[in-house]
Structure 1
Amino acid sequence: MSTYTGKKAVVIGGSAGIGLAIAERLVEGGAEVLVTGRDPGHLKEAGERLGPTAHVLASDLADLEAVETLGGTVAEILGYVDYLFVNAGIARLAPVEQVTEEMYDLHFAVNTKGAFFTVQQLIPLLDEGGAIVFTTSVADSLGVPGMSVYSATKAALWSFAQTLASELVGRGIRVNAVSPGYTDTPSIGVQGITDEEREEFKRVGDATTPMRRHATPAEVASAAVFLAVDATFTTGVKLAVDGGLGQHVAVPRT
């Protein structure tokens, strides 16, 4: 028998990067998995990589109407959920003086508001003994230049996770978070930058991370699935997968 046979999982933001790695690990172990995403190209690729046993669904966290219908769609397809991974998010870098209202609102709409109401819609479907795993970021507790708004949204998400851990423990549902550092995803975790800027961002990440490299999506996925499946006496915990970066009090200037 495969490790996750008979289990059902939803991966919000599961069409690329860390979310796709989580979905792949679960599918390989025999779970029935539904992934969401908003990029048509990523959704197509995810469907091809995950195979016919996975469900790939277009859904945008910034669209609350889509979020409100998600619970019904998941109920129709899966019936109930054992593991919920809340992985979707956006990051656009800008120093404080260059942050616009539109940028601010978009970050909170996706990373915080969309994530919160998505979980609210799916909580009724979570089976007793189930688990929720949020993807936060090492930036939620570090003062990283250019990440003021992104960091605040992820800190809020971690706060939600802690409260939900308290509220859902009576139902036997555990709530934890995985906190990645720099990770080799297609966008390197940042949208709206040039290839040259992305390479520089990667260089800074390697230089400031004590282990001197980026994580692979599979490494972060392994930690997230551990929290959902194996950490059966753990709730309200944030597990860092950051190569030691969280031990730094500040990121050096470059």
Structure 2
Amino acid sequence: MGQLENRTAVVTGGSTGIGLAVAARLADEGAHVFITGRRKTELDAAVETIGTSRATAVPGDISEAADLDRIYDAVRARGQGLDVLVANAATGAFVTLEQTTEDHFDQTFGVNVRGTLFTVQKALPLLNDDASVVLISSTAADHGIEAFGAYAASKAAVRSFARTWANELKGRGIRVNAVSPGGVETPGLVDVYGGEEALSGVKEMVAATVVKGRLGRPEEVAAAVSFLASEQSGYIVGANIYVDGGLNQI
């Protein structure tokens, strides 16, 4: 018996990277997981990886209200409500203040902030009492990383949401917490840094500055999310757990 046996979970951005690792871990703990993402081919492959009896793919973009409605219609049709919601979907790119355009700002905040807000808001009627909501923030929210301003600000907003919503939903026993990964080796990180060659330089920097001396693994973030999703963390509310190899701690 897993810690989430017979529970229902939703993981946004669940087709690759951290989202896929989280969805797989929740399924391993016994939950049936609905995963979302914009690319159906990758979603279908993720379901095959997790197991077709343990996961359901619902293509969608969290910045689009109609897509969120379709995701939750699928959860509603299962008839067991929602026990775990992991708001993971996000986007980011290196763009300096001088280079920032309205389109870049709108895309970043449209997905990371607006999308996260309505992902949780639209889930409220489905969330069972004592459910767990986990928001994926980032260590970038705490650092003035050059050319990463819009992304960092959006993730700071996500961290703030966790505090406020934890207070607002306490009457239903719904716990809201955040997880802030540091650098994690995922396909998305390769895209952000512009390819494997550029990422190799980042790995060298991380080895010199992070206590663990390496990038994180998606499974390490998934372990923290699984803990917050389970009753093992029942007295943890409004918190932010860093999964960063010690980057922000020492």
Q: Is the TM-score greater than 0.5?
A: yes
5+ residue gaps in structure 2? none
**TM-score between both structures, scaled by the size of structure 2:** 0.93
Inter-partner Cα distance in structure 2 for 1:3 and 1:157: 26
For the 8 Å contact 1:70–1:118, the answer to whether it is kept is no
Per the alignment, in what secondary structure is the counterpart of residue 21 of structure 1?
Answer: helix
**TM-score between both structures, scaled by the size of structure 1:** 0.92
Q: Residues 184 and 78 from structure 1, CA distance in 2 versus in 1: closer, same or farther, beyond 3 angstroms?
A: farther
Inter-partner Cα distance in structure 1 for 2:199 and 2:39: 20
Q: Which amino acid aligns with 1:66?
A: D
Alpha-carbon displacement from aligned partner over 1:128-172 (angstroms, at most 9, x marks no partner): 111100000001111111210000000011111111000001101
Q: Which residue of 2 aligns with 1:252?
A: none
Q: Which residue of 1 aligns with 2:68?
A: 67
Bigger drift between 138-147 and 66-75 goes to 66-75
Q: Which one of the candidate residues 211, 229, 233 is aligned to 2:235?
A: 233
Structure 1 residue 126: Cα displacement = 0.9
Identity across matched positions, percent: 40
Point out 4+ residue stretches in structure 1 off by more than 6 angstroms: none
For the 8 Å contact 2:180–2:244, the answer to whether it is kept is yes
Inter-partner Cα distance in structure 2 for 1:172 and 1:183: 31
Q: Residues 201 and 78 from structure 1, CA distance in 2 versus in 1: closer, same or farther, beyond 3 angstroms?
A: farther
Q: How many aligned residue pairs are there?
A: 248
Q: Residues 105 and 202 from structure 1, CA distance in 2 versus in 1: closer, same or farther, beyond 3 angstroms?
A: farther
5+ residue gaps in structure 1? 249-254
For the 8 Å contact 2:8–2:81, the answer to whether it is kept is yes
Q: Residues 113 and 174 from structure 1, CA distance in 2 versus in 1: closer, same or farther, beyond 3 angstroms?
A: same
Q: Which residue of 1 aligns with 2:47?
A: 47
Per the alignment, in what secondary structure is the counterpart of residue 34 of structure 2?
Answer: strand
Q: Which amino acid aligns with 1:108?
A: F
Give the aligned CA root-mean-square deviation in angstroms.
Answer: 1.7
Inter-partner Cα distance in structure 1 for 2:188 and 2:70: 28
